Structure 1
Amino acid sequence: MSEPRSLETLPKAHLHLHFTGSMRHGTLLELAERDGISLPDQLVSEWPPQLSAADEKGWFRFQRLYDVARSVLRTEGDVRRLVLEAAEDDVRDGGRWLEIQVDPSGYGARFGGISAFTDLVLDAVRDASGRTGLGMAVVIAANRTRHPLDARTLARLAAQYVDRGVVGFGLSNDERRGSTVEFEHAFAIAERAGLLLAPHGGELRGPEHVRTCLDALHAHRLGHGVRSAEDPDLLKRIVDEGIALEVCPVSNVALGVYSDLTSVPLPALLDAGATVALGADDPLLFGSRLNGQYATMRAAHDLSDEQLAELARMSFRASRAPADLVTRALADIDAWLGADREGSGS
C-alpha cells in the first residue's frame, strides 16, 4: 500500500492564529530569560500545559498563561521576531497565506499606543512576507471582556488600515462573558469599511451563540463555529449563507470542548457542505501548529487525500488573499493531489 501524500507540501491558508499564541516556545523561554521574567512551570517544564476551559477558573488559568507569554514582548525587535518566526513556521507547514489576529489594546501601553503598535505589526508583516514569500494580512480583534466602546475604537482603527494590510475585524476571549449583542455597533463600523467580520463563536458556547454572531454581528466567518454541528437547521443556514468556520481541533480538545480528536465533528461539518478552514489557534499553548491540525484530523477521521485537498482549497476560498495567489494555490493543490504519493505523510 502506498504512503499517503506529505501534508507539509499541501498548500494551505491559515485563518485562525492569534498573535502572542503564535510565538515559538523556544522564543518565549529565551525572551523571558533575557529580561529575568519568571515563567510558571506550565510554560517551562510542563509545556505544553494541561488546559481546560470547562469552567470560569479553567479559562482564567488559560488566560493567565497567555498574559504571561505576552509580557515577554518588550521591544520592537521582539515583535518583528515573533511575526517572522510565525511566517517561517507556516511556510514550513505548507502555508501560502496567513491572516494573523491581534488585539492592539493588549500591547498599546508598551508600544506607544494602539496606532503605533498596529503600524509596527503591519511593517513587521510586510517585512516577514517579503523575506519568506508567505502572503500575510492582519485581523484586528476586540476583547469581549472589555467595554464595547473599546471595540468601537478598535473597529475605527481597523477601518483606517483597510487596503494597508488589515483585512478583517474579530471578537475574541471567553465567549461566555459579556453580551455579544453589545458589540454590534463595533461590527457595523467594520462592516461599513468593507472588512471581513470574524467573531469567535460556537466553541465554548453552543448553537444559540452562533446565531447571535450571525444575526447581530453579521459574521462572514466564525472563529471556531464547530458546535454548529449540534443544530442541523443552523448548520444548513451556515452552508446556505456561505459562512466559513475556522475549526481548530487541537485547541478544542485541549480546552475540554471535546474529549478527544475523534469527537471533533469535522466529518459532520463536511458532510453538510460547510466551508471549513483548519487553524492552529494558539500553538504556544496548545503545542500544535498548522500542519498538526491536518495531520490529527487525517488520523482521527481517516480523511482521504481528496478530503484534505478540499480542506486546503476551502481555506483559500474563505480567505482575503489576493485572487492571483488563490489561483496559484488552487492549481498547486490540484498538482499535489495528482502527484505520486511519497514521503511519510507527516
Structure 2
Amino acid sequence: MRPLISALPKAHLHLHFTGSMRHSTLLELAERDGIRLPAALVEEWPPQLTAADEKGWFRFQRLYDTARSVLRTEDDVRRLVREAAEDDAADGSIWTEIQVDPSGYAATFGGITAFTDLVLDAVRDASRATGLGMSVVIAANRTRHPLDARTLARLAAQYAGRGVHGFGLSNDERRGDTASFGPAFAIAERAGLQLVPHGGELRGPDHVRQCLTHLHPDRLGHGVRAAEDRRLLDELAQQGVALEVCPASNIALGVYQTFEEVPVRELMAAGLDVALGADDPLLFGTRLAGQYALLRAAQDFSDAELADLARRSLRAAHAPDDVKATGLRGIDAWLSTATEPTHDRMKA
C-alpha cells in the first residue's frame, strides 16, 4: 500500500507569482471586471503550449500577461497568495518560496516598492493562516535591460532578511546576454541573498556554464539540460548547486516529449539536490504533488525515491533549521507508514 504523496513533507522552491493562481480564481476575477480571456484560458484550459521557437514562447508569455491583468486590487493579491499557500499546504509543502518580478505589477500597485510591501504582507498573513513557511524571491526579467535587473537587485537587497531571501532571473533564457546580468547578481550576492536564476531548460549545457561563470548560482531554475554533459554534472555537484526541476512544464514547453525523458534520476545520481516544482500551475495544470505523482506514474519512482526527492528539496530550501528538521522527521514517518490504497490527484 503506497502512502499519499500529499502527505509527504516537502519544500516548493519554484513557483511563480501569477502562475500560482487558481484557475477558478482567474475566471472569477476576469468575470468581475469584464476581462475577455482567450479560449486557451477558459474552455481549452490547460492550454496547449510550446516554447520550441519564439512564436511559442510569445504565446506562453501572452497568456501569462493576460492572467496577470486580472489582479486589480490589494485584495486580489492577498487572495492569490493565500490560495497558493492553501494549495501548497494541501500538497504537503512545509516551506514555499514564491518568485515575483515587482516591475510587472508596479503600474497597477504604486511602484515596485509598494508592491513588494504588499506581497510580503500577504505572505506573512498567508503563512500565519495556513502554518506554511514562506519566503520570497525577487526576480528580474532577462528580456528587459540589465539596468532594470540592477534596480531589482537593489530592491531585493533592501528587503534581505525581511521576507526576501533570494534574487532570480526568469523569462525566455534564449533572450538577453547572461553575462550582462552579472552586476545585478553581484549586488544581490553582496547582500547575502540566495542566487537562483533560470538556466538549462530551453538552452543546453553551455548556458548552464554561463550561469555558473557570471551569476554564481546557489540553485538553478530548471537546469535539466545539464544532464547532457557529465563533466558539467560533476561541476554542479562540486559547487553544491541545486536544481529546481519542473517536469510538467518541461513537457508542456517541449523540452522533452514524454515524462519518461525528464532526467530526474540522472541528476540525483550525480549527487545533485533536486527540488521538484510546479513552475506555473495556472498554465501547466498541475500543482506540487502532481510533479511527484508524475514521476511515480511515468518513471515508476519508488516511495524511497520520492522520499529522497523530498529530503533534497528541504536541503536546497532557505527554510530555518527547525523547519527542515521537522520535515525530515515527517519524511521518515511517511516512508514507514502505509495507507489505504488511493490515487493521488494532480490538482489544477
Taking only aligned residues, the RMSD between alpha carbons, in angstroms, comes to 0.7
Residue 209 of structure 2 corresponds to: 211
Instruction: Supply the distance in 2 between the matched residues of 1:149 and 1:207 (Cα, whole angstroms).
Output: 26
Instruction: Supply the distance in 2 between the matched residues of 1:332 and 1:99 (Cα, whole angstroms).
Output: 20
Instruction: Answer whether contact 1:14 1:98 (CA < 8 A) is retained.
Output: yes
Instruction: Supply the distance in 2 between the matched residues of 1:314 and 1:136 (Cα, whole angstroms).
Output: 18
Instruction: Supply the distance in 2 between the matched residues of 1:240 and 1:336 (Cα, whole angstroms).
Output: 30
Instruction: Supply the distance in 1 between the matched residues of 2:242 and 2:297 (Cα, whole angstroms).
Output: 23
Say yes or no: does 1:268 pair with 2:266: yes
Query: 1:28 corresponds to which letter in structure 2?
Result: L
Residue 237 of structure 1 corresponds to: 235
Match of 1:277 among 266, 275, 282: 275
Instruction: Answer whether contact 1:97 1:135 (CA < 8 A) is retained.
Output: yes
Shift of 1:170: 0.2
Shift of 1:294: 0.2
Match of 2:141 among 140, 143, 146: 143
Equivalent positions of 1:83-94 (< 5 A) are 83-94=81-92
Instruction: Supply the distance in 1 between the matched residues of 2:120 and 2:28 (Cα, whole angstroms).
Output: 24
Task: Name the TM-score, length of structure 1 as normaliser.
Answer: 0.98
Moved more, 293-302 or 66-75: 293-302
Change in CA separation of 1:132 and 1:343 when aligned onto 2, cut-off 3 Å? farther
- Give the 3-state SS of the residue equivalent to 1:140 in structure 2: strand
Moved over 3 A (4+): none
Instruction: Answer whether contact 2:274 2:312 (CA < 8 A) is retained.
Output: yes
Match of 2:37 among 27, 36, 39: 39
Instruction: Answer whether contact 1:309 1:337 (CA < 8 A) is retained.
Output: yes
Shift of 1:269: 1.0
Residue 338 of structure 2 corresponds to: 340
Q: 1:70-114, CA deviations, whole angstroms, 9 ceiling, x for partnerless residues?
A: 000000000000000000000110010000000000001110000
Shift of 1:44: 0.3
Residue 112 of structure 1 corresponds to: 110
Instruction: Supply the distance in 2 between the matched residues of 1:75 and 1:292 (Cα, whole angstroms).
Output: 30
5+ residue gaps, structure 1, are none
Match of 2:287 among 280, 286, 289: 289
Say yes or no: does 1:56 pair with 2:54: yes
Residue 121 of structure 1 corresponds to: 119
Instruction: Supply the distance in 2 between the matched residues of 1:345 and 1:50 (Cα, whole angstroms).
Output: 25
- Give the 3-state SS of the residue equivalent to 2:196 in structure 1: strand
Residue 167 of structure 2 corresponds to: 169
Q: How many pairs does the alignment contain?
A: 344
Instruction: Answer whether contact 2:218 2:241 (CA < 8 A) is retained.
Output: yes
Say yes or no: does 1:225 pair with 2:226: no
Instruction: Answer whether contact 1:201 1:223 (CA < 8 A) is retained.
Output: yes
- Give the 3-state SS of the residue equivalent to 1:155 in structure 2: helix
Match of 1:310 among 305, 308, 311: 308
Shift of 1:340: 2.8
